Amino acid sequence: VAAQLRTNFFIKNLTFCPSSGPVKYSGYVTTENNRRQYMELDINSPIPLDEKINATFIIDSIIDQTVLVPLFEIHEKNFCKAMNKYVGELWYAMQRAMQVPGGVCPIRANHYHMHHHYLDFSRMTLQTFPFGTLRITVHAKDKTRNQMIFCSIVVVENMRFRTCLNGIYNILIFKVTAQLRTNFFIKNLTFCPSPGPIKYSGYVTTENTQQYIELDVKSPIPLDENIDATVIIDMIVKNKTIIQMFEIHETDFCKAMNKYLGEFWYDFERAAQLPAGVCPIRANHYHVHHHYLDFSKIALQTFPFGTLRFTCHAKDKMKKQMVFCVIMVVENTVN
């Protein structure tokens, strides 16, 4: 499976589940000039979409139009905040089209209509979707009444920007599932030979299933806006087949670590006597001793189960020189 950071969705089918609750809704999508898609949507909600309404997003891959492969699920306690978090500017634009202030929660009870609204999926916050045909199920439930109030199923084709999907289906006939909290166990950690000015070494130990790291980094240069970051996530099937999942490219290494690793990274920094979340990281000699690796604190959490290989490297953009590289093989198991 390959993926890109900016979605290139084309809606193939949009279905609204029969309304079983107080909220009534209908809508459809039209296509103009082969690719541009527009939406009509009518929602009559006698109740506010507040903290009582939760959200579930289920993302599946459809193989050869018949095989359904679960990818991951997202469960959030607050529907409105979940839409802000994962759909972002795409959602805000839809709200503004319905005369609702973008990003404001709760959404008040009212009758809303959206007319001929252009769907720009590149504005979604959550962007790392695999190529191919995906089925995205979105539903909201009233927690106090235990009643479904909204449900939609959209089937999309996520295609490469330069070339159409070609021959990818024949490598996808296996089950991939994912969870929101990672349960990583490091099987192998390799530091690439240091070609640049930063010198580093380290290893991982295991004690009663808990893992700890020793890390030594000697950096004569600051990790500032001149240092970029690339993370490549692959799946290893049957110990030999490598399947590319997705790549992340960021122009600022330090900010990328804050963005994707979050509290997991901040713990690392504190263990190295660094202020957490502060960029740039100053030039110095850092050592992390017997530091517990709590992967549940990583900000980016929707990883598939199975054996994954992470390749992380940083490059000096000015000198076009690699300054850091690590390859980590992990097993992500069911919690």
- What confidence score (pLDDT) does residue 158 get? 82
Show contacts of 82-88: CB within 8 Å, 24+ apart: 82/54, 82/55, 82/57, 83/55, 85/125, 86/57, 86/124, 86/125, 86/126, 87/124, 87/125, 87/126, 88/123, 88/124, 88/125, 88/126
Q: What angle do CA 162, 303, 172 make, to 5 degrees?
A: 55
**186-195 tens-digit pLDDT:** 999 998 876 6
Nearest to 109 by CA among 51, 25, 50, 45: 45
- Determine whether domain 3-176 maps to CATH 3.90.1150.10: no
- What confidence score (pLDDT) does residue 180 get? 47
- What confidence score (pLDDT) does residue 251 get? 92
Q: Give strand ranges (E) for the chain.
A: 3-4, 9-16, 24-32, 36-45, 53-63, 67-76, 110-118, 129-130, 132-142, 147-158, 178-179, 184-191, 199-207, 210-219, 227-237, 241-250, 284-292, 303-304, 306-316, 321-332
Examine the pLDDT at 89 and tell me if it is beyond 90.
Answer: yes
Stretch 259-272: mean pLDDT, rounded?
93
Residue labelled with tokens 């950071």: 5
- What confidence score (pLDDT) does residue 335 get? 58
Question: Could you tell me which CATH class the domain 184-332 is placed in?
Answer: mainly beta
Stretch 56-75: mean pLDDT, rounded?
79
Examine the pLDDT at 79 and tell me if it is beyond 70.
Answer: yes
- What confidence score (pLDDT) does residue 272 get? 95
- Mean of per-residue pLDDT scores for the chain: 85
In the chain, the percentage of residues whose pLDDT exceeds 70 is 87
Q: 132 falls in which pLDDT band (50, 70, 90)? A: confident
Nearest to 224 by CA among 251, 189, 245, 259: 251
**193-250 tens-digit pLDDT:** 766 889 999 999 999 989 999 999 999 999 999 999 999 888 787 777 777 677 788 9
First and final C-alpha spacing in the chain: 24
Examine the pLDDT at 329 and tell me if it is beyond 60.
Answer: yes
**What's the residue count for the chain?**
335
Q: What is the DSSP string of 157-221?
A: EE--SSS---S-GGG--S---EESS--EEEEEEEEPP--SS-EEEEEEEEETTEEEEEEEEEESS
DSSP conformational letter for 259: H
Examine the pLDDT at 6 and tell me if it is beyond 90.
Answer: no
Domain ranges of the chain: 3-176, 184-332
Q: 160 falls in which pLDDT band (50, 70, 90)? A: low
For residues 50 and 31, give the distance between their C-alpha atoms in angstroms, rounded to a whole number.
33
In the chain, the percentage of residues whose pLDDT exceeds 90 is 58
Q: 163 falls in which pLDDT band (50, 70, 90)? A: very low
Question: What are the CA-CA distances from residue 199 to residues 112, 131, 202, 217, 313 (Å)?
Answer: 58, 37, 11, 6, 13
Examine the pLDDT at 152 and tell me if it is beyond 50.
Answer: yes
Nearest to 234 by CA among 309, 132, 326, 130: 309
- What confidence score (pLDDT) does residue 1 get? 38
- What confidence score (pLDDT) does residue 247 get? 78
Lowest mean pLDDT among 62-71, 159-168, 266-275, 302-311: 159-168
Do domains 3-176 and 184-332 share one topology? The answer is yes
**pTM over the 0.85 mark:** no
Examine the pLDDT at 173 and tell me if it is beyond 60.
Answer: no
For residues 121 and 94, give the distance between their C-alpha atoms in angstroms, rounded to a whole number.
11
For residues 180 and 182, give the distance between their C-alpha atoms in angstroms, rounded to a whole number.
6
